[in-house]
Structure 1
Amino acid sequence: MTTQKQRIAVLGAGQIGTIIAGMLAEQGHEVTLADAAQAQLAHAAGKRFGTAVVDASDLAALRAFLADRDIVVSACPYFLNKGIAKAAAETRTHYFDLTEDVATTAYIKELGKTADVALVPQCGLAPGFICILGADMAARFENVRTIKMRVGALPLYPTNALRYNVTWSVDGLINEYCNPCEIVFDGQPTVVPALEGIEGVMIDGVAYEAFNTSGGLGTLTETLAGKVRNMSYKTLRYPGHAEIMKLLLRDLELADDRETMRRILSHSAPFTRKDVVVIFVTGVGERKGRLEEESVVLRYDGNDELGAIQLTTASGCVAMVELFLAGKLPARGFVRQEDAILADFLATKAGTRLLHEARGADATALGHTLALKQAA
C-alpha cells in the first residue's frame, strides 16, 4: 500500500462530503467532488478539488465516472450506497462510506467476500470513531462486563420544541430513529426498539437523555461476541426529544410516511454550525482480579466555519482513508471500523486533528497515551 497521490472521488456535495473532499485535497490527492445537482456544487467553486455532475443512482454513469479513480468515498444518503458499493467493486475502486444502515452494511459485507478491493462502510463518527473507541475500551480489560457508548450531535443553542437542529443527513436521522437497534445483553446479541431505553445522563453539568438508535455499534456486536456481557449504543439528546419523536413517528405513524417526516424536520430543525458533539464511552471489567471502570468523554464545539458534526464525521472518514493508504487496514474485502487500532487512527493527520480539537481532560490523556506509544 502507498501514501502517494491518489485519484479520489467523493460522492455527495452536502455538508459532510464537501469537507471530506477538502481534507483529502489538502493531503495532496487529486479529488473530484460529484453530485447530481449542479447547484449543489456551486459552493465548491474555487476549492482545491474538481467537481463533476454525476447522478449516483445512474449506475452506468457511475461506473464510467469511477473507471479511472483509485478510491471513492460516498457521502450520499444510505439508500444509494448498495449501488455505489457494487459499482466500486466492479470498477476495482476502493470504497468508503458514512452509512449507519444495518442492511446496507450487511449487503456490502457480502459483496466483500469476492471483491478485489477494500470495502470500508460505516466511517465517520457513530458508527466510525465511536466503534474504534469502544473496541479499544474493551481491550483494556481481561474480562469485560459492560461497554456503554453514547454520542450526541446537538445544537449549542436549542431554540425549538425538539431542542434539536439537523446537523447531518435527514434521511439517516429518520432511519436510525425507526430501525431496530443491535445490542449485547447478558452475553447474547439481540435487537431492541429505537427511541426506547431512555436514561438520564449528566456530563460536565449538562443534562441529556440517552435512548436506543440504530446502527451506532457498527459491527461491534459481531466482533465482541462472547467477549462482553453487556454492550449498548445510545444517542444523546436534550431531555424531552425522544417523546416528541415517538409522537411523530409512532402515534402519528410518520415512520410509514418518511417523506412527510423529512419535510417536517427540514422545516422545523434547520442546519446550524453552532453545534456540539459529545462522546461518552464507559467500560466496566476485571483487571488482575479487581472490578474497575474507565470512561472517556470528548467534546467538540462547532463554529461559523465548521460544525462539530462536520469535523468529527469528516475526520473519522478521512482518517480511515489515511490508514488504508498506509497499509494499516486490510487491502481488500470487507473492512470493519474496529480493524483500526486507536493509536494508529489518532496518529493520522485527520485523527490528530480530532485529538487536538477535542475539549476535556480525556483528550489530553489520550494524547499522552498516544505520545507514549509512538515513543516506544
Structure 2
Amino acid sequence: MGKAPAGARGAFISGGATMRVLVLGVGMQGKAALYDLVRSDRVREVIAADRDLDALRAHVASRGYGPKVQCEPCDAENPAEIDRLVARGVDVVIDLLPTRFSDAVAESAVRHGVHFVNASYVTPGLKALSHEAKARGVALLPEFGMDPGIDLVLLGEAVRQFDVVQEIITYGAGFPEAQAANNPIQYKVTWTFEGVLRSYYRAGRIIRDGRVVEIREDEMFCPEHLHELEIEGIGKLEAFPNGDAIKYADLLGIDLSHLRNLGRYVLRWPGHAAFWKRLVDLHLLDAEPVTVDGVTVDRRRFLAAIMEPHLQYRDDERDIVVVRVQVAGLKGGRRKRVLYQVIDRRDLETGFMAMNRTVGFTASIGAQMLGSGELAARGLLSPVKDVPYEPFARELRARGIVVTSELSDWE
C-alpha cells in the first residue's frame, strides 16, 4: 500500500445543495464544523446554536458566512430548547455540546426523524435508542471526531485486511509542537480542559502478552502502563492507556483468544504522565467533590479554572494531532503488519487547530454522508463497521488531512 497524496486544505465538496444541518455547540470544534459545512455545496443551510448568541453572531460575521448560516440561542440545560431547534426541519444534527447533553439531543433527533452525529463515546442512553431509531429511519453516529472517530474508521479498515488478528495498538493525541510545549506540563488546550481532566481519571482495559489487564481510574499513569513511541518528524513521545480497548475488539467480532496485545493509548511529550500521577496520588482528580468552608468544590473544575488560562496557544503556535493504528496478524498464511497514520498540524491561515480540524471537519463529513444518503444504515452506527474507509479518507484528503498506510512483514 502506498502513501496517499496531500490534498488542498478546505477544498469544496461536490454534490447538490439540498441538506439543512443543525450545529449544537459552536465552541472550538463547533467552529471548525461550521466552517466546513458553509464551504460545502451539498449543504443549503446551517442553523448554528450556542449559549452565547452575541459571540456566535460576531464569529459568523467575522468569517463572512452570510445568509447560509442562521444563528440561534440554545440553553442546553433546558431540553425544550434542544427540542425546539431539532424540530426546525433539519436533516442532520451535529451535537458538539458537553457530553452530558448527548442523550437529550439524540432523543430529540429520534423523535423528529433527524440523523445525529457527535464526537463523544457511546452512552447507555444512545444504546437504548438504537431500536427506535432504526424503526424511525434515523441514524445515530456517535464517536465520530478524531479519537474516537478517525481512529475507529482506520481500525475497521485495518482489521478487515487480516484472516487472523493477533495485535491491535492504536494512538490518538493532540499536543503542542515542541517549540510551543513551553510550560511545566508541555501541554496546551485545544478542548475543554475540564474534559481533559475527566479523561485523566478513567478506568481502562487492555490485553498485554495474552492476558486481560484491568486498569483502575487511578492507575492509568502508573509506570507499568506507560511506553514510549518514536514518530518520524515529531520525536519521542510517551503513551498511556485511553479507556476500554476490548469493547472495540468485541464490536469487530475478533476472537480475544488470538490477541497477544491490544490497547488504545494517548500520546504526550515525555514527563507528562509523571506530573499527573502525582496529582492523581494527591486525589486532585477524584470525582467526588470536596467541601471547603461550607462550599462544595468540584476538584476538576477547580483545577481547570486555575490552569486553563495559562495553557493557551499564541496565534503563531501550532498543535499536532496524531492518529495511529497498528494491526498485525496472519494474512494469506503470512505474518503481516499494517500501519495507518494521520499527522495534522494547525492551519495558521484559517487559525483552526489540528484538533479542531480533525474533530470538527470529521463531524461535518459524517453529517454530510448521512444527509446525502451515502451512509444508508439506520439505528446506532459505529465508525468501526458502518463508515466505509475509501470515501471517508477521500473526504479527509480534500480538507488536507492525509491518511498514510504501510504494509510490512511482521517479525
TM-score under structure 2 length normalisation? 0.79
Alpha carbons 1:35, 1:52 under 8 Å: kept: yes
Higher relative contact order (CA 8 A, sep 6+): 2
**Given that residues 57 and 83 in structure 1 are in contact (C-alpha distance below 8 angstroms), is that contact kept between their aligned partners in structure 2?**
no
* Structure 1 match to 2:123: 105
Q: Does 1:212 align with 2:241?
A: yes
Specify which of 98, 103, 116 is matched with residue 77 of structure 1.
98
Q: Which residue of the partner structure matches residue 198 of structure 1?
A: 226
Partner of 2:107: 86
Q: Residue by residue, what CA displacement relative to the aligned partner does 1:77-101 show, whole Å, maximum 9, x if unpaired?
A: 111212211222222221111114x
Say if 2:196 is the partner of 1:180: no
3-state SS, counterpart of residue 34 of structure 2: helix
Cα distance in 2 for partners of 1:70, 1:87 equals: 13
Q: Percent identity?
A: 25
Q: Which residue of 1 aligns with 2:60?
A: 44
Judged with a 3 Å threshold, the aligned counterparts in structure 2 of structure 1 residues 291 and 218 are, in CA distance, closer, same or farther, namely closer
Instruction: Tell me the residue number matched to 1:322.
Output: 368
Partners of 2:124 and 2:383 in 1: how far apart? 14
Change (3 A) 1:219 1:364: closer
Cα RMSD (Å) of the superposition?
2.5
| C-alpha distance in 1 between matches for 2:390 and 2:325 | 16
Larger Rg: 2
Check conservation: 1:187, 1:226, Cα contact below 8 A: no
State the SS of the aligned residue for 1:363: strand
CA offset at residue 264 of structure 1? 3.3
Please state if 1:149 is matched with 2:165: no
TM-score between both structures, scaled by the size of structure 1: 0.86
Deviations 1:295-318 (A, max 9, x none): 233311113322111111122212
The equivalent position to 1:301 in structure 2, one of 327, 340, 345, is 345
**How big is the shift at 1:222?**
2.7
Alignment equivalent of 1:288, drawn from 328, 332, 336: 332
**Which 5+ residue runs of structure 2 have no aligned equivalent?**
1-14, 288-298
Give the conservation status (yes or no) of the 8 Å contact 1:66–1:93.
yes
* 1:189–1:319 Cα change, 3 Å: farther
- 1:372 corresponds to: none
Q: Against the structure 1 CA distance between its residues 134 and 265, is the aligned structure 2 distance closer, same or farther, given a 3 Å change threshold?
A: farther
Aligned residue number for residue 302 of structure 2: 260
Q: Do residues 343 (structure 1) and 364 (structure 2) align?
A: no
| TM-superposed deviation, 1:188 | 8.0
Provide the residue aligned with 1:114 in structure 2.
Answer: 132
Counterpart AA for 2:265: K
> Partner of 1:34 in structure 2?
49
Q: 1:249 aligns with which of 263, 275, 280?
A: 280
Deviating more after overlay: 72-81 vs 253-262: 253-262
Query: Deviations for 1:233-253, whole angstroms, at most 9, x for unmatched residues?
Result: 100000011121222234243
